[in-house]
Amino acid sequence: MNQPSRLRDVHDLTRRVVSHERAWSGPIFTVDDDAVVLADGLAPVRRQTVAHHDAVNIVALREGSDSSQADAAAEILMVRQYRHPVRAMLWEIPAGLLDVPGEQPLVAAQRELAEETDYMAARWDVLVDSYASPGFTTEGARSFLARELTLLPEEARTVREAEEAEFVPTWVRFDDAVDAVMRGLLHNPSTVIGILAAARARDRGYTCLRPADAEWLRSPESL
């Protein structure tokens, strides 16, 4: 009989916040300054938190008869984007913020895949969930695996703007992407996590995937 795993993150809302100040507010994130009591009898400690929209990202795979490779090797769909904070062009998987009120994560992922790559997928599963950097931000990320991909009709495609105007959706051999992660050549965390999770899922014959609407431990403080 399978035993419940002890390795399970859970919410803990018992720590008392004795003061809260919103230091800065913007459309994508806010900066909060809290004084929180970590344990009875201890003095409060100050913690600064970036309250941020959660995000979704997509590992879009094609393999077998869908692959363009002569040996039917798996391929992953990637884009290259300029990231100003790190002054770098990064190879990334399609991704976007959950910044549309009431939009479900799967719907957001489908929208982002279409907007960034002009593709849609018939099969969706959850690969992995993560927090971007839980030491300072509420931002969570859900990685989806998208398969059975087809191009959108020309009239349904999005005109991309700003950094996204430079996007050239590119199919890359999946094993090359895995190797690039392990050689330290790729740095976007969702991309690294998604590629490695997809590699593990493929090794297990995709039997470890979760439904597209699976439970998600999102921060109660996310925007």
Longest C-alpha distance within the chain, in Å? 67
Helix (H, G, I), strand (E, B) or coil at 32: strand
Q: Minimal CA–CA distance to 175: which of 204, 199, 194, 159?
A: 199
Q: Minimal CA–CA distance to 99: which of 49, 27, 159?
A: 27
Question: How big is the chain by its Cα radius of gyration, in Å?
Answer: 19
- Phi, psi dihedrals of residue 119, rounded to the nearest 5°: -115, 155
Has 92 been annotated as catalytic? no
Full DSSP string of 50-82: EEE--EEEEEEEE-GGG-SSTT---EEEEEEEE
Catalytic member of 63, 115, 164, 221: 164
CA-CA distance, 172 to 170, in Å (whole number)?
A: 6
Distance of CA 60 to the CA centre of its chain: 12
Joined tokens for residue 16: 């008392």
CA-CA distance, 195 to 147, in Å (whole number)?
A: 14
How many Cβ atoms from other residues are within 10 Å of residue 144's Cβ? 27
Residue positions annotated with a catalytic role: 164
